[in-house]
Amino acid sequence: MRRIPLLLERFGIEAIECQALTLGLTPGEFVAQAALYHVGSPPRAKAASFMGEPPVESPRALTVALDPDSWATLEAEAFDLGVTVAQLLARASVALAADIDSGRVADQIV
């Protein structure tokens, strides 16, 4: 378990909270599911520029529980992209929320 800042602006945080509420998860559980979804997804374009800079306001911190192998995979990918794990998790969370919203992924997998 790690405490991770959710490096998103208000709109992104609200999207994560809304999807989490809809699925009966806490935001931290949603981010953990997003991390697993990201790790298990086929590779797609993962431009570091998409992750942007941390928000100006103090970010909200969440407790995210993942197994050691998932953390290691995320840390390696973040290192390769030149970003932080928190930035990668923010991107993964927004991507999962968008995929659920668009119907690209069934919310039953979460």
Q: Give residue-wise pLDDT tens across range 12-35.
A: 889 999 999 999 999 999 999 999
Q: What is the pLDDT of residue 3?
A: 92
Tokens for 103, please give them.
Answer: 């119907």
Side-chain half-sphere CA neighbours of 30 within 13 A:
28
CA distances 77 to 12, 25, 107, 108, Å, are 22, 26, 25, 27
Q: What is the pLDDT of residue 8?
A: 87
Pairing state of beta strands 60-64 and 2-6? antiparallel
Determine whether 92 is exposed, middle or buried from the number of CB atoms within 10 Å of its CB (0-12, 13-18, 19+).
buried
Segment 73-96 mean pLDDT: 92
Segment 51-63 mean pLDDT: 70
Least confident of 37-41, 57-61, 84-88: 57-61
Least confident of 57-61, 72-76, 83-87: 57-61
